[in-house]
Amino acid sequence: MLILELAVQGVRGFSPSARVAFKAGYTVLKSPTEIPAPLAGLTLALAFPDGRGGDGAFLAPGAKQGRSGLSVQAVDQNVWRLVRDLGGQGTLHRLNRQTNQFEVLTQDAAEMGQALRSAGFPARPTFEQLFTLTVGQLPSRRPKSSAKQPPQPAKGQPPKSSPSQARVQSAFDQYANELGATETGPSVEKLSALEKELATAKHVSEVQFRMDGVQADVFKAEQRLHAYEELKGKLEAARAELFKAPTPQSLGLPDDIVERVRRSGDEKKRRDEAFAKLDRERQDAGIADEPPRTPPLWKDMRFIAAIVLGLLFLVSGGLLDGMGRFLALLAIPAFTFGGLLALRFIEELQHASREVAKREVFEVRRKKIEDEFGLAASIVQTALDKVEANLPDEFFTIMARRAELQPAVAELELEFADFESDPETHGLAEKVAALKAEHESLNQQLLGMSGGYAREVREIEREISRMKEALAGKNPTSGEEFSAVSTGPAETFDDPCPAPMALACEIFSSDLPTLWGVVRDRCVQYLTALSDKRYHGVDLDVDGRATVHAPGRSIAAGELPAKDLDLLYLALRLTLAEKAGAQTKLPLLIEDAFGGVIDVNKQGLFARMLKHIGTLTQVLHVIGASQQPPPADTVLAV
């Protein structure tokens, strides 16, 4: 996933109006104030809306309204845009690549969360604990016991004030203390108010937990409903395709038409062989291709000349006297010759008649062959025409389609029957509607409690603990400085390693020992470099608790000095960001105020570490106004 653009207006910690475009790699963002702009908290509020307007905490002081927008490119290359009025409604858009315009998808917080999860966003705890890095996350900001009482100033000297107070870590990472807010003195009334706030916060937490569970149930039910509708659509489409598949009966053809088409090639060969045999017999019989033609007798000039000559002699003998009458006898040869020609003509007619009779016999046999094979050929051609096939192979493929579809349809019908017989499928649509109604009811309950926003329970409990100590006569700590405080033997911290390692195991689908075997050496390298070689090894037990090795001794993570514990946490977080970022391509968001944790001579090394991670995934590094930008691929002002 790649963050493409951030647009803000009236947002705390940013310029009054800013719009910046990001690229892959290592990008440094320079804030207009000394405190780094709350990029991580704002991104979490946009990507994981609670539907209660809690993002209004990011509204700039004095601004009547604020607006923010975030554009990201998901793993499927789709571009999404989140736009939200701080404390108000948000909208999720998706880029239509055909029109190159953003289209509104939803304004519902739950639907936005589901859509972003499908686009590649992980769960909020995973993104917050592995891919955002802020000072408020350092373990020294969350001690088990209260910090040591700060040294009292010498008499007559004003108390030292910290340059900046630590940010308040809440659900939306507010920054009230960073902007100079001061706490009022301890009192029983304030303690009572804090206890009421604690009760409300616990109730809010319970309702939020229930609402998260209902939202998860809605997501599962909608997935099952979608799977049911998708399976039903597939079955209907398969049935429709099966119904359209041709059969001999639907085409009005004989039941054995497929076999006839298959035999059509052999039938054609048999027809050609019959014709060839008939032609050979005809040739053997001496039947010419064309019937013999006998010219009419009256067109024979010899016959006409003999008749005319005989008539001439006969007439001359009748007209002459004496010896001239003997000319009539010459008519006899002439008529005899003509008679012979006439007899020959008759013989030719008889021969032609016999030839025609023989020819007709062969023609009748040819016609019989054509009729015999022509009927079968016409049925085959009709079958090909009806399925719009040019070749028999195409016809076979089309006619076999039904046989191919029947097993698939039967399998879908069986799967659909199993789906319908499942009790969880009954009334699934009504179940989804009921869960959404319950989710909306819980959301309204949250909106009705504390204005729809409550601080974290642990934060209120710590404040109550400090208040009770103050009322008991102790001098409470007035504020946490950005530089990590030193710890003594009586002060310990929670081990920060189990939580991020558990989330990393989910990402890598691995158990903790296996994952630690992969990342251990890299974590040791980071810790050794950041601690100036004060530590040379780290081990984790099966629960993720860390033991750090120094020359001649081993120390449990919770017993480390605050600054060294923070360095261990940074080393582990950089290691997991490097490994997980290379696999998931999720961006790493850093709000840099680690000046009190990382030595000045190590700041450049820290920047080079981030630049290396930037070669594997996108890194957005926010710094204060007076900080010198480290070498980066891009430096932008926000």
Query: H/E/C letters for each residue in 288-337?
Result: CCCCCCCCCHHHCHHHHHHHHHHHHHHHHHHHCCHHHHHHHHHHHHHHHH
Asked whether residue 540 is domain-assigned, the answer is no
pLDDT surpassing 70 at residue 42:
yes
Same domain, 257 and 369: yes
Find the helix or strand (DSSP H, E) in which 147 lies: none
Answer positive or negative: Cα dihedral of 122, 126, 130, 136.
positive
Tell me the three-class secondary structure of 54-120, residue by residue.
HHHHHECCCCCCCEEEEEEECCCCCEEEEEEECCCCEEEEEEECCCCEEEEEECCHHHHHHHHHHHC
Distance (Å, rounded) from C-alpha 550 to C-alpha 84?
49
Please report, as a single letter, which amino acid is at residue 551: P
Least confident of 237-251, 456-470, 591-605, 612-626: 456-470
Asked whether residue 237 is domain-assigned, the answer is no
Asked whether residue 462 is domain-assigned, the answer is yes
The 3-state DSSP class for residue 2 equals strand
Asked whether residue 318 is domain-assigned, the answer is yes
∠ at Cα 577 (573, 583), nearest 5°?
Answer: 150
Answer positive or negative: Cα dihedral of 315, 317, 320, 324.
positive
pLDDT surpassing 80 at residue 359:
no
Asked whether residue 446 is domain-assigned, the answer is yes
Tens of pLDDT, residue by residue over 64-102, are 788 899 898 887 788 888 888 887 778 888 888 888 888
Distance (Å, rounded) from C-alpha 614 to C-alpha 635?
13
pLDDT surpassing 70 at residue 268:
yes
pLDDT surpassing 70 at residue 145:
no
Last residue of a domain, one of 352, 386, 420: 386
295: left (phi over 0), alpha (psi -120 to 50) or beta: beta
Residue 292 pLDDT: 65
Tens of pLDDT, residue by residue over 484-521, are 444 444 456 788 899 999 999 988 888 898 999 888 99
Query: Do the beta carbons of residue 612 and residue 529 sit within 8 Å?
Result: no
Number of domains in the chain: 2
More confident: 453 or 418: 418
Same domain, 214 and 257: no
Whether pTM > 0.75 for this model: the answer is no
Tens of pLDDT, residue by residue over 151-180, are 444 444 444 433 333 333 333 343 333 333
Same domain, 215 and 255: no
Distance (Å, rounded) from C-alpha 246 to C-alpha 240?
12
Residue 571 pLDDT: 92
Residue 446 pLDDT: 66
Tens of pLDDT, residue by residue over 586-615, are 899 998 877 778 887 888 888 888 888 988
Range of the domain at 334: 250-386
∠ at Cα 54 (123, 595), nearest 5°?
Answer: 75
Asked whether residue 437 is domain-assigned, the answer is yes
Query: Do the beta carbons of residue 373 and residue 270 sit within 8 Å?
Result: yes
Query: Do the beta carbons of residue 82 and residue 46 sit within 8 Å?
Result: yes
What b/e sequence results for 425-462 when a residue is b if at least 16 CB atoms lie within 10 Å of its CB, and e otherwise? eeebeebbeebbebbeebbebbeeeeebbbbeeebbee
Last residue of a domain, one of 407, 439, 471: 471
Q: What percent of the chain has pLDDT over 70?
A: 86
Q: What percent of the chain has pLDDT over 90?
A: 8
Tens of pLDDT, residue by residue over 555-565, are 898 888 888 88
Same domain, 210 and 259: no
Same domain, 358 and 440: no
How confident is the model over 268-297, as a mean pLDDT? Answer: 75
Residue 149 pLDDT: 42
Q: Name the pLDDT band for 206 (thresholds 50, 70, 90).
A: confident
